Amino acid sequence: MFYTAKIHQNKISTTMRPNDKIYRVRRINIMTGIISMLFVIPFSLMSQEVNHLLITRTLNSKGLATETLNYFVKNIEHPTLELLFEKGNAYFLIADYKNAANCYYQVNQSNNQLAAYELARCYAQMNKPELACSYLTVHLKMKKRNMQSFIKSDDAFTGISKSQEWINLWNTDWYSKYDLMYEDAWYEYKLGNNQEALTILNKLTDIRKSMVQANKLKALVYEKLDEPQNALISINLALARDPEIAEYHYIKSRLELTLEKPKKALNSIDDALHLDSTQIDYYLLKAKANLSAGKQQQAIADVGLLISIMPDAPTLFLSGEIYAEAGEWQLAIKAFNKCIAMEPYNPVYFIARGDAYLKTEVFNFAEKDFSFVLDFEPNSGELYFKRAIARLGMKNREDACSDFNKAYNLNYVAADEYIKNYCRNYSKMD
């Protein structure tokens, strides 16, 4: 199934791109990686045929619409309706609304008005308010529809928001008071007002116990409140009423992983993937669950799939963590090197690489990485401690002891033992 909210997020990702140099460098690296990796996907993607929908959805979710369309030209001759939907998304992202509408129209004709909302957005962008509101009326009559606030805040409709057709459309009360209560809770949740959101949701679920999405939202709120056990109870209530929603199984898996139940998390994420194998985040969570369960080789295979589709910095960083857990330090360092090339000012990657250099006893490189991060985080006792270990390995006891003392003064108590053992007189190491 398709969910129109995802397409809306795609649009935002293109209209709100930062223009800074770091982002441009990162995007070039991602695109280069995609272009080089797409041709090896048939050998690494499961053991079946290529999951074209997973690839095109992932590219669109990253705002890489041109790459999506190029992928269609090179790899997809007869697209399914789901692929046509993604092709329409790609055209919309590059503001080719005529071709986008053509794709959505084909989907709509064959699948019970599935793309009515997307067609409304296209015609709004083409300044055809009558057609836009006609399709939006169809969408508003559907069981699975977007929230009122979501629609009214969609930038696609800004150009027709003062038209008579738009005004007439909203003279009808399309939403019940319970729908609007849910929207209020969602609004508070998005603002970070989680207690307020929870208060509304508790009232709503007391009145409408069958409102599945309210229990799903309650799970997300509890997750933000760092109450994973209550979140798990809520998502299980949602699943009890609608077990065919892949996203619910994904949320359950994430919560089980938080609760350090990796075997259960693996079962839940497998349920999600069985229902929907086209969401890249599901594979990412499965890799994390396998790693947490001590299944390093499975985690390596999972992350290999992810990298073949979207070799971005977060995915490469996860691969580095998995390699490190498996003791494959050189592979971990290579992964962290790629992360740093994409995001050259992210301290997390430098710390991870520094840790790997410590493990491989390349102490001078470790010292450089920790020194770099200390320029930005000068009050980190842990970082002074790690640099001290690197300097001790370089037989630079004086500077090492200076760092141990700084770490201890910053309440990093593990430094005390090293001060006692190595730093009495700052004498040279044997």
**CB 39, CB 358: distance < 8 Å:** no
Within a domain: 286: no
* Mean predicted confidence (pLDDT) in 409-421: 94
* Mean predicted confidence (pLDDT) in 255-266: 97
Q: How confident is the model at residue 326 (pLDDT cuts 50, 70, 90)?
A: confident
What DSSP designation does 47 have? T
Structural domain including 65 reads 1-173
* CATH (domain of 415): 1.25.40.10
Within a domain: 147: yes
Per the structure, the count of domains in the chain is 2
Torsion-angle region of 426 (φ positive above 0: left; ψ -120 to 50: alpha; else: beta):
left
Of 173, 201, 223, which one is at a domain's C-terminal end? Answer: 173
Within a domain: 295: no
Of 123, 138, 173, which one is at a domain's C-terminal end? Answer: 173
Average pLDDT, the chain: 87
* CATH (domain of 89): 1.25.40
Q: Exposed, middle or buried by CB within 10 Å (0-12, 13-18, 19+), for 43?
A: exposed
**Angle of CA points 92, 97, 99, to nearest 5°:** 95
What DSSP designation does 144 have? S
Percentage of residues of the chain with pLDDT beyond 90: 74
How many whole angstroms separate alpha carbon 139 and alpha carbon 37?
A: 38
Predicted confidence (pLDDT) per residue in 106-146, tens digit: 999 887 788 999 999 999 999 999 999 999 999 999 988 99
Q: So what's the pLDDT on residue 426?
A: 54
37-41-45-49 Cα dihedral, nearest 10 degrees:
160
How many whole angstroms separate alpha carbon 254 and alpha carbon 250?
A: 6
Within a domain: 260: no
Q: Which residue has the tokens 């046509």?
A: 84
Within a domain: 244: no
Q: So what's the pLDDT on residue 20?
A: 37
**CB 264, CB 256: distance < 8 Å:** yes
Of 173, 189, 216, which one is at a domain's C-terminal end? Answer: 173
Q: So what's the pLDDT on residue 262?
A: 96
Q: How confident is the model at residue 314 (pLDDT cuts 50, 70, 90)?
A: confident
Evaluate if residue 1 carries a pLDDT over 70.
no
Q: So what's the pLDDT on residue 47?
A: 34
Within a domain: 58: yes
Q: How confident is the model at residue 50 (pLDDT cuts 50, 70, 90)?
A: low
Within a domain: 164: yes
Regarding whether 7 and 153 lie in a shared domain, the answer is: yes
**Other C-beta atoms within 10 Å of 420: how many?**
10
* Mean predicted confidence (pLDDT) in 392-405: 95
Q: How many residues does the chain have?
A: 430
Regarding whether 151 and 4 lie in a shared domain, the answer is: yes
Evaluate if residue 250 carries a pLDDT over 80.
yes
Within a domain: 408: yes
Query: At 53, which amino acid appears?
Result: L
Report pTM: 0.73
